[in-house]
Structure 1
Amino acid sequence: MPYTHVGAVTGANKGIGLAVVRQLALQYPKSALHKSDPESQGLLIYLTARDKSRGEAAVRSLYEEDAQLKKAKALKKDGGWADIKFHQLDIRDTMSIRGLAEYLRGEHGEGAVDFVVNNAGIAMDGFDNNVVKTTLECNYYGSLEATQDFLPLLKPNGRLINVSSIVGKLNKYSESIRSRFLNARSVEEVTALMEEFKAAVEAGKEKEQGWPSAAYAVSKAGMTAMTKVIAREEQDRGGKRLINACCPGYVNTDMSKHRGSKTPDQGAQTPVMLAIEEIGGASGEFWQNERVIEW
């Protein structure tokens, strides 16, 4: 079955990621993306997850149990515009990232994907060397590799959205570290900051050296900085792809231990907007509540 538009959402078997998939299917018919092509054959969304059985179960739940999708008749089986397929992806695994990239390239061709919403991430309890290394491996290094591998798959006007967090704001760092984040001009500079944080934690001197004792927060600061750098590189080479970071807010999910004040569908609104709506060509920004905010 042909599709005019193709997108992928990582870490989407539950929580915000699953809500992003649902809202993409619901909002696509009235979106700027759909309206951009009056001959549209619809949207194919790849729901990706680390665990195959959970990912496939999530797709089944959307097709068989989701009341919003059924009521709106959003899926093609009901006469709508969207289809959803599962593909395995673990962003901590280089071969898994490359496997999805090669699959998308083989199925749809180079430069044929409209958007990728990179939502996959972890939040661990406690704070020690292992927590820091594991968190950075997924949230920073895995997201960086996914961003670099998926970017060439995007259409010339495609979108890449990295789901970061407001806890990665720079108000808890020394002025020198904050300045280095804000003035980073290469991925290598951002990665150097992540490595310095790991070394500081290993030495037990992170606070002394100007870092917060917070693995998740630093990983998200790195994600936002990396996203801004890659967006600038895209612009410098004359590219038109829009690359942004966003915070979904404090959402009631497993990651927040269900303490969040937002529903997953509410948290999905900003990444969905960045994927399929008109945003005035904005790139390299940090967004929350559907607007650019100070990082």
Structure 2
Amino acid sequence: MSFEEEQRIILITGANRGIGVALVKKLLKEFPSDSTLILLGCRDLKKGEDAFIQLNSPSNVKLLQLDTSSRESIIRAIDQIKQLYDGKLDVIVNNAGIFTTEMTVNVARELFNTNYYGIKIFNEYLISLMRENGRIINVSSRVGSIVLQEMSKSLQDKYTSSTLTKSQLDKLVEDFISSIEKNNLESLGYNPKSDFLIYGITKAALNALTQIEARESSSRKNLLFVSVTPGLCATDMTRDMPNTRPPELGADSIFYVINTTRDQLKNGAFYRDGQQLPLINGSIIIN
């Protein structure tokens, strides 16, 4: 039996802590080692090694140094996947993300580079490595839905348009970042009083990207693209926020879209706790 037939290969970014490492633990518990190979993507290799030891150094977990905000790091990681794993992937979980409440142009650039642009570029590179019926899972947040509800109807229509393209979405993102510097968020249609505004727009853009990917790329190899929110979990990123839930529950939400049969999932949709969620105002824009 060939290597490809023996193991399902799952790549998880940001897998050395929080929800990422909780997801790896669940995968190790649910799947036998000879059926599933887990690539533990981590920006800091030392932290990845620490997580690997914490997981008891399982034979079917391999470290992959990967900074999704760096094109050079992505290319190096792809070369490693090609050399060591025959350039094949079955599932990608884009879990890496960053969060802050600051409102500056530099902060916005940093958040978008990781939470949106990095995932967009990463997926574009890795689609060619995906096997038939592969899944690309973008880890998002309901904060994206909340900020959409609080912006103008014109902007809502743009972010949720069934004909939105990647270049048009990039333009929305760049206009948003520029509006922070120009201090004209409100005139552009955003609510400057929205909680976690920059972070929320990165996730609104990620949800929109997921739907574009589903429209444009799903016909290639019958790929499935979904976004999923793990909910507000107690991790290093959320620090001391109230009303958090265990990261294991967030991992369960991601595991659901990894393991549920294809006919039970809708391409381009947004999930939490095994349920499809509305993107905005109770309606889900799916083609």
Q: Same fold (TM over 0.5)?
A: yes
- Listed one character per residue, the Cα deviations across residues 89-124 of structure 1 (whole Å, up to 9, x for unaligned) are 1011101111112211222334x2110100001002
- Contact 1:194/1:222, CA 8 A, preserved across alignment: yes
Matched residue, 1:291:
275
- Contact 1:28/1:276, CA 8 A, preserved across alignment: no
Matched residue, 2:48:
55
Q: Distance in 2 between matches of 1:279 and 1:249?
A: 23
Q: 2:260 aligns with which of 277, 280, 290?
A: 277
Q: Structure 1's 219 and 48: CA in aligned 2 closer, same or farther, altered over 3 A?
A: same
- Contact 2:8/2:36, CA 8 A, preserved across alignment: yes
Task: Give, in angstroms, the shift of residue 208 of structure 1.
Answer: 2.4
1:28 lines up with 2:31 in the alignment:
yes
Q: 1:102 aligns with which of 56, 79, 86?
A: 79
Task: Give, in angstroms, the shift of residue 41 of structure 1.
Answer: 3.4
**Map of 1:229-244 to 2, 5 A cutoff?**
229-235=212-218, 237=219, 239-244=221-226
1:205 lines up with 2:188 in the alignment:
no
SS state at 1:250 partner: coil
Q: Structure 1's 245 and 44: CA in aligned 2 closer, same or farther, altered over 3 A?
A: same
1:125 lines up with 2:101 in the alignment:
yes
Matched residue, 2:250:
267
**Map of 1:1-295 to 2, 5 A cutoff?**
2=3, 3-29=6-32, 41-63=34-56, 75=58, 83-110=60-87, 112-169=88-145, 170-183=148-161, 184-213=163-192, 214-235=197-218, 237=219, 239-259=221-241, 260-280=243-263, 281-295=265-279
How many residues align? The count is 267
Q: Structure 1's 6 and 239: CA in aligned 2 closer, same or farther, altered over 3 A?
A: closer
Letter in 2 for 1:113: L
- Contact 2:131/2:221, CA 8 A, preserved across alignment: no
* Structure 2 alignment gaps of length 5 or more: 280-287
**What stretches of structure 1 move > 4 A for 4+ residues in a row?**
none
Task: Give, in angstroms, the shift of residue 238 of structure 1.
Answer: 5.3
Task: Give, in angstroms, the shift of residue 200 of structure 1.
Answer: 0.9
* Structure 1 alignment gaps of length 5 or more: 30-39, 65-74, 77-82
SS state at 2:46 partner: helix
- Contact 1:251/1:258, CA 8 A, preserved across alignment: no
SS state at 1:126 partner: coil
Identity %: 29
- Contact 2:89/2:134, CA 8 A, preserved across alignment: yes
- Contact 1:156/1:240, CA 8 A, preserved across alignment: yes
